[in-house]
Amino acid sequence: MNFYLCLICGNVIELIDGVANRIACCNQEMELLVPNTVDAALEKHVPFCEIVDGKVNVQIGEVVHPMVEDHYILFIAIVKGSKISRVDLKPGMEPKATFTYEEGSTIFAYCNKHGLWKKDI
């Protein structure tokens, strides 16, 4: 799963199918987001999860990520092969989501200030 960012307006998109050349926004090519997996800032960005009864409960950060107007998690997604489930978030909401668990899934989270993060489960 690939996500792209517009460096001008901040739009984030996911590529569902096709070739990633010429993806543009604001008359400029969008940047491929490369997910981070290690967070030196008290683990506030790496998805933290627990698997219970076939569900995966996700919280962003072992120390819960802030959800204020200028610093928040935009989405949490879980990806397995060609399947993706995503929860969109806004400031003031909790950075948490529950998904159906499938072995070998990857969780992604996007922070509006610190970019894309992932954890393989």
Q: How confident is the model at residue 63 (pLDDT cuts 50, 70, 90)?
A: confident
Q: Are residues 10 and 45 in the same domain?
A: no
The span from the CA of 80 to the CA of 102, in Å, is: 7
Q: Which domain holds residue 61?
A: 35-120
Q: What number is the average pLDDT over the span 1-29? A: 86
Residue 40's pLDDT is 59
Of 105, 4, 2, 3, the residue nearest 58 (C-alpha):
105
Q: Is the pLDDT of residue 18 over 90?
A: no
Q: How confident is the model at residue 26 (pLDDT cuts 50, 70, 90)?
A: very high
Q: Are residues 53 and 78 in the same domain?
A: yes
Q: Are residues 69 and 20 in the same domain?
A: no
Q: Are residues 23 and 68 in the same domain?
A: no
Q: Are residues 91 and 64 in the same domain?
A: yes
Range of lowest pLDDT (39-48, 61-70, 107-116): 39-48
Give the CATH number of the domain where residue 96 resides.
2.60.40.730
- Longest distance between any two alpha carbons in the chain, whole Å: 47
Residues 65-99: tens digit of each pLDDT: 999 999 999 999 999 988 999 999 999 999 999 99
Of 9, 29, 6, 14, the residue nearest 75 (C-alpha):
14
Domains contained in the chain, number: 2
Give the CATH number of the domain where residue 4 resides.
2.20.28
Q: Are residues 56 and 97 in the same domain?
A: yes
Strand partners, 57: 50, 98
Q: Are residues 46 and 99 in the same domain?
A: yes
